[in-house]
Structure 1
């Protein structure tokens, strides 16, 4: 459950990076706002277009509950060497000074890029690590709640589709 001070209702264009957008209807979608090339962008977290992103600046078409200031946690037991293994769409990637999500641009026919969700972290230099499982949370300690979770089952379902 969310307390009234933990969310607002608005458009995607009004959501800052590290905001989770939760749908109010079946026509809306769960999204996370990050940035690509320093411009705000939103990535779909589920559905037909899961892990596709698009610019979110001035976007008044998408709406929902906005939960600002969420945190992303990675499951360290799902780590892989992103330099040795191709990261699947939706994987969290720790690279240089960022934590990013591997996603496809809405206009991309092939390939993918990284949507930054955290930056200004301690530099990892040339090393990289990927994580197949991660989650979006709010709160700390006993008040911490998981709002969304990516699991290996998500990847298995996409592979079999």
Structure 2
């Protein structure tokens, strides 16, 4: 089982390519709060719902000082098609080796349809301006998650 992050832990830094191939590092956001969320697969119904909810709430989140980064194991090419199809307006990053997911505890054993499987654990984190985890949520639901997150953050 991958060790999970908790509030107060330093956020593991990373650099991953976005849907255009441009490298994006967590450290690029130092001095700002950033929501980092992990999802299983681009262009699937639940992941599309979650991504579009972030897209549709991005203005309010940004006004409250939050940037958003989505991370999946999808290839940069698949992400590029998905970003275009859904008009996503924030970085979607490719962690094809699942290295970052494992560092953040977002890859490992989970329950799916009553069976134990190994895969991406849908997770959301808030990293404060100093690079410390201020919110860690594992096994979140795709639908309604952004609304709940906004309530949790007071946005």
**Considering the TM-score relative to the shorter chain, is it more than 0.5?**
no
Q: When you count helix as a share of all residues, which structure comes out higher?
A: 2
TM-score under structure 2 length normalisation: 0.35
Q: Which has the higher contact order (CA 8 A, sep 6+)?
A: 2
Q: Considering only CA atoms, is the larger Rg found in Structure 1 or Structure 2? A: 1
Q: When you count strand as a share of all residues, which structure comes out higher?
A: 1
